[in-house]
Amino acid sequence: MELPRYEKIWLITGSITLVIFLVLLGIMGFAMGFNPSGHMKTIAPDQVGATPPFDKPGLFTVADKEYRAVMQAKVFAFLPGEMTIPAGSKIHFEVTSPDVVHGMYIAGTNVNMMIVPGHISEFTHTFNKPGDYLILCNEYCGSGHHLMLGRIIVQ
Ligand SMILES: [Cu+2]
């Protein structure tokens, strides 16, 4: 069957675009480590304050230069709001929300999670460069959304 010229051009352009998209998706997923942050772990949102480990949010040492950050994203703060680690440290983040949907984006990194009530979001990141890393909520969560900030100080 002979296809009209413009239809051929359209099909070839579409196929090439699809291949480019899939290659980029593969590079982002496998080489750059971009992954969905949800690990399908759930928690009762109204029981977050009474459910370990979220009843005691904080930064816990796992090994040398390896930490576990148990965090709550709530209106309108991150708990803990400030963490200090040495450069080259790896942090395993475990974050949940007791109220509404929040975001957790750490500026200058690829840490960018949606924090959904009832779910535990997890992500691991290694902070190689010393500096002051800003944690931002990037899901509009209410009137104090713009005040919802945190800090990670890498020394
Ligand atoms: Cu917010």
Tell me, in angstroms, the distance from the centre of ligand 1 to residue 97's CA.
Answer: 11
Over residues 6-10, mean pLDDT: 95
Contact 106, 150 (CB under 8 A): no
Q: Taking 60 as the threshold, does the pLDDT of residue 38 lie above it?
A: no
Tell me, in angstroms, the distance from the centre of ligand 1 to residue 119's CA.
Answer: 16
pLDDT at 40: 77
Tell me, in angstroms, the distance from the centre of ligand 1 to residue 147's CA.
Answer: 8
What is the overall mean pLDDT for the chain?
92
pLDDT at 30: 85
Tell me, in angstroms, the distance from the centre of ligand 1 to residue 138's CA.
Answer: 6
Tell me, in angstroms, the distance from the centre of ligand 1 to residue 144's CA.
Answer: 7
Confidence of residue 111 (pLDDT cuts 50, 70, 90): very high
pLDDT at 147: 93
Tell me, in angstroms, the distance from the centre of ligand 1 to residue 148's CA.
Answer: 6
Length of the chain: 155
Residue found under tokens 């977050």: 48
pLDDT at 33: 73
Q: Taking 60 as the threshold, does the pLDDT of residue 37 lie above it?
A: no
Confidence of residue 106 (pLDDT cuts 50, 70, 90): very high
Tell me, in angstroms, the distance from the centre of ligand 1 to residue 75's CA.
Answer: 7
Cα angle for residues 115, 116, 119 (degrees, 5° grid): 100
Residue found under tokens 């959304």: 145
- SS3 call for 52: coil
Q: Taking 60 as the threshold, does the pLDDT of residue 113 lie above it?
A: yes
Structure tokens at 64: 């040398």
pLDDT at 73: 95
Rounded distance, CA 84 to CA 98, Å? 25
Tell me, in angstroms, the distance from the centre of ligand 1 to residue 110's CA.
Answer: 18
